[in-house]
Amino acid sequence: MFDAFPTAGEDIRARPDGEAPLEFIALLGRSATPEEAITYAAYLLPRRKAVWWGHECARGLLHLLTEEDRQMLALAEAWVREPEEDQRVRALTSAMEGKNKTPGVWIALAAGWSGGSMSDPGLPTVSPPVHLTPRAVNAGILGALARVDNGHRASTLRTFVDAAIGLAGQ
């Protein structure tokens, strides 16, 4: 995974020591920096699954999110359910217009950067770098997690890690 995504080496300090990817996610989840499990999973999951995972993590915390987040999550969900170019462009355009980079905006950006072009229609194609989707998923999930009170943060993070392991195993 680190060979496929050189930026992962900048984002994840720990390295596997012979563990299979899912074992490594679980190991990271039990480490002193369990947030690295979120980061590793964001890179490991295929883009569509990663966006769905980010959506589901944030959706579980809707009571902590804004109306803008909800709208952005709906756009990301629409792309996951129907991964057509118009859905991707709608998510990207709306997220780029977002006032703040909130969890929902990051997840919509992840959908928008999942393929296609980042440039406006009629301009030359600019393919998104492959690391943008996992980094946006990571930012969205960790941004949502930061809104959870300290007493529930560790258990919420474990739930997110378990969900990633479940999705990766499908």
pLDDT of 120 higher than 90: no
Tell me the C-alpha distance between 149 and 54, whole Å. 19
Domain ranges of the chain: 20-168
Over 90: is that where the pLDDT of 121 sits?
Answer: no
Q: What is the structure's pLDDT at 14?
A: 94
Closest-CA residue to 77 (of 54, 94, 60): 54
Extract the tokens encoding 84: 């057509």
Tens digits of per-residue pLDDT, 25-68? 999 999 999 999 999 999 999 999 999 999 999 999 999 999 99
What's the whole-number mean pLDDT along residues 79-97? 98
Task: Indicate if the pLDDT at residue 170 is higher than 90.
Answer: no
pLDDT at 28: 97
One-letter identity of residue 127: S
Identify residue 48 by its one-letter amino acid code. Answer: R
Amino acid 101: pLDDT: 95
Task: Report the pLDDT value the prediction gives residue 169, as an integer from 0 to 100.
Answer: 87
What mean pLDDT do residues 115-130 have? Answer: 94
